[in-house]
Amino acid sequence: MFADKDLKKAKIDIAAELNRLEANQTAKEVAGKSIGRYGLFYITIIVIIGVGASLYLEESKMAAVMGLLGASLTALISMMNGIAGATPKQDKPEFDIMKQLIDRLDRMADRDPMTVDVDGEKITVRKGDNEVKTARKA
């Protein structure tokens, strides 16, 4: 009888710990478990709908239905791959290029500072060996 009480208490403690862990899961973990658990079922249902549609629909309507079913399957499979981590994240080369350009410009700015002189109507801009002079035209 003493062992039964300990067993019940252990089961209650384990259930409470499991509930606590499930409550602290991220949305990605919850979605991953759901799609992992039911994903094959969803794919099977989508395929069955496609087969059923092919039996009862006219040919002119089949293209639209099959297109929608194909898009649904593709989206579900890509979600499964994304959650499972099978699809590597694509690098954004444009960000790397922008960072390199900013670094270059920063180095150039440190090397040759720009000066601007304003003398009445005349403006002179100097950067390194380059010099540009402007004057206001009436």
Extents of the domains making up the chain:
2-90, 94-135
- Give residue 128's pLDDT band: very low, low, confident or very high (50, 70, 90): confident
Sign of the C-alpha dihedral computed for residues 66, 68, 70 and 72 taken in this order? negative
* pLDDT tens readout for residues 33-80: 777 788 888 888 888 888 888 888 888 888 888 888 888 888 887 877
Q: Give backbone dihedrals phi and psi of 103, rounded to 5 degrees, phi first.
A: -60, -45
Tell me the pLDDT tens digit for each residue of 69-120: 888 888 887 877 776 665 566 666 777 777 887 787 777 666 777 788 888 8
Helices (H), the chain: 2-23, 27-56, 59-84, 93-111
Q: Does the predicted model carry a pTM greater than 0.85?
A: no
